[in-house]
Structure 1
Amino acid sequence: MTVRLTQASAPLMRSIAVRDEFGAEREVAIPAERALTVFVDKRELVTLMTLGAAPELLVLGYLRNQRLVESVAEIDSVTVDWEVEAAAVATRGGVQRFEEKTAKRVVTTGCGQGTVFGDLMADLDAIRLPPASDPRGRISQATLYGLLDAVRRQESTYKSAGSVHGCALFRQDELLMFVEDVGRHNAIDTIAGWMWLHGVDGADKIFYTTGRLTSEMVIKSAQMGVPIVVSRSGITQMGYELARQLGLALFGRATNRHFLCYTGFERFDAQPEPARPATKE
């Protein structure tokens, strides 16, 4: 079944006048953060703070990662109207146990504080990732370097205005999708929505984020079926423990040709750099 979507992307930046340390006035760009209140079958669910790059995909991914809807086939339409700052989701048969699923909320470490409905750890045992012996679930050092170079060359809001997080989906070092938002959780939800809408399998994919690897990011990556996650930032203890439990390969502090492999060494085909010569004192 086809999901009917508006195409209501909003301007990602706006220009403002500022004064620098010399007292000179100049014009700079800043991210255009805005509120988007999500209604599901006319019931208010949550208000997301977002840039609005792909709001329909954000809403789809949010519903998927919150486990409020099991199949994209259950969604009839997502209609975004920026004049009223609202996204109206119409389902085909209603959300089963809506009140029960949304009764418990966990405030996460997401930028501006994210929210997860229900038990954060529920259904982890049902997640199946490709084994490390499967070529789809492996990454070489050369591929990792190629991926980081692709991110470096990507035109972005961050380069123009800063203050945003970016997430990307790769097949090896081929960039499939790149999205930025004010919070890394919004960016990963948008990618999850795109995968869900188009039936994209995560087994042979690599997920990249500029944000830190928290429990929320690890769980969402696993729910997308993606076995390898790369971050420009670091990792939390809970993110580390969950990645080990789920069998993910996590790479952090990854910039240029530097990285740390925190978990999932068995998925990594290392090609170590030559040892640097000792410096003479």
Structure 2
Amino acid sequence: MSKQDNGGTEEGMRSLAVVRHHDGKSLPDLDRVAEETPVALVFKMMATPLDLERLAVGFALSEGIVGRRAEIFDVEAGFVTGGAEVRLEIAQPAFLALKGRRRSLEGRSGCGVCGIESLALLDLAPGPMAKPARPVIAEAAAIARAAAELPAHQRLMRATGCAHAAAWCGRGGEVKAVFEDVGRHNALDKLIGWLALEGMDPGDGFAFMSSRASYELARKCARAGIPLLATISAPTSLAVDIARRSGVALASFCRHNGFVEYTA
């Protein structure tokens, strides 16, 4: 996209009125200066328009756009014609790395492969977590409590029948926060963004999802440092593989009276 600056000079420069001082003389003149301007980085996503700042921060963290919360300087959400817009101001090294990834990052409410130019660009190795996950078998009572408490917090699901939920649960299984979205990945990103914005320790609880356990959810938990992912429905084989390699404990088919442990 071309841009014509106010001074009529080449793109990327501005022509400014200056006063040159030399040998005791002062003369008005024009000078060219390199242009520096804020650039908004906007991701196009399909999502439920709730908790948008948390969604953007969680997405940036869980997708590796930034490595830590401190690399996000500002986040601002607003509604525009036909949708909503969230603008992130991120550190320059993170922005340069993002350009080098050559990924369109056009997120949808469906699969996590959307928007990737090549299967070779899929991030299937998030690396081991800094802290090993605690044994899932010790969490039986906590998982049962989370399964029992979650439905009462699913306001959007009760009203529409069309929303996934990502719950943040304490060590005892008490549901502390719930984020809903038409996309399960978006719901988890909102949870991750909330943890980051609130400065909470992701190792001090676990994520409970009302969906199946797809590979993206396991990868996002690994990158966010969430030690346990519990889901109501089944996992995929790739989700199990990623959870095992990264050290995320994975429990699925979670009910009030039991679950299946996949990472023992």
Q: Considering the TM-score relative to the shorter chain, is it more than 0.5?
A: yes
1:138-194 deviations in whole A, cap 9, x for unaligned?
743222211111113324211121111110011122222100001000011011111
Q: Could you tell me how far apart the structure 2 residues matched to 1:160 and 1:256 are?
A: 23
Tell me the equivalent position of 1:199: 199
2:76 and 2:88 in contact (8 A); partners too = yes
The amino acid that maps onto 1:97 is A
The amino acid that maps onto 2:77 is V
Tell me the equivalent position of 2:39: 41
The structure in which a higher percent of residues are helix is: 2
1:49-76 deviations in whole A, cap 9, x for unaligned?
1112100010011111111112322222
Shift in CA distance, 131/57, structure 1 to aligned 2, threshold 3 Å: closer
Tell me the equivalent position of 2:61: 64
- What is the Cα deviation at residue 204 of structure 1? 2.5
Q: Which runs of 5+ in 1 are unaligned?
A: 1-39, 265-281
- Structure 1: which 4+ aligned runs deviate by more than 6 Å? 105-108
Q: Could you tell me how far apart the structure 1 residues matched to 2:39 and 2:221 are?
A: 27
Q: Percent identity?
A: 22
Q: Which runs of 5+ in 2 are unaligned?
A: 1-37
1:166 and 1:210 in contact (8 A); partners too = yes
Report the TM-score when normalising by structure 1. Answer: 0.69
Alignment counterpart, residue 54 of structure 1, candidates 51, 54, 64: 51
- How many residues matched? 218
Q: Could you tell me how far apart the structure 2 residues matched to 1:226 and 1:157 are?
A: 25
Quick check: 162-171 or 111-120, which moved more?
A: 111-120
Tell me the equivalent position of 2:11: none
Tell me the equivalent position of 1:128: 130
Q: Secondary structure at the match of 1:177?
A: strand
The amino acid that maps onto 1:60 is V
2:213 and 2:235 in contact (8 A); partners too = yes
Quick check: 84-93 or 159-168, which moved more?
A: 84-93
The amino acid that maps onto 2:239 is G
1:217-261 deviations in whole A, cap 9, x for unaligned?
111111121221111110111111122222322221123324222
Tell me the equivalent position of 2:244: 244
The amino acid that maps onto 2:39 is D
The structure in which a higher percent of residues are strand is: 1
Tell me the equivalent position of 2:164: 165
Q: Could you tell me how far apart the structure 2 residues matched to 1:223 and 1:132 are?
A: 17
Asked which structure has the greater CA Rg, the reply is 2
Where do 1:1-281 residues align within 5 Å? Answer: 41-44=39-42, 46-84=43-81, 85-91=84-90, 93=92, 95-101=95-101, 103-104=102-103, 111-114=109-112, 115=114, 118-125=121-128, 127-130=129-132, 132=134, 139-172=138-171, 173-264=173-264
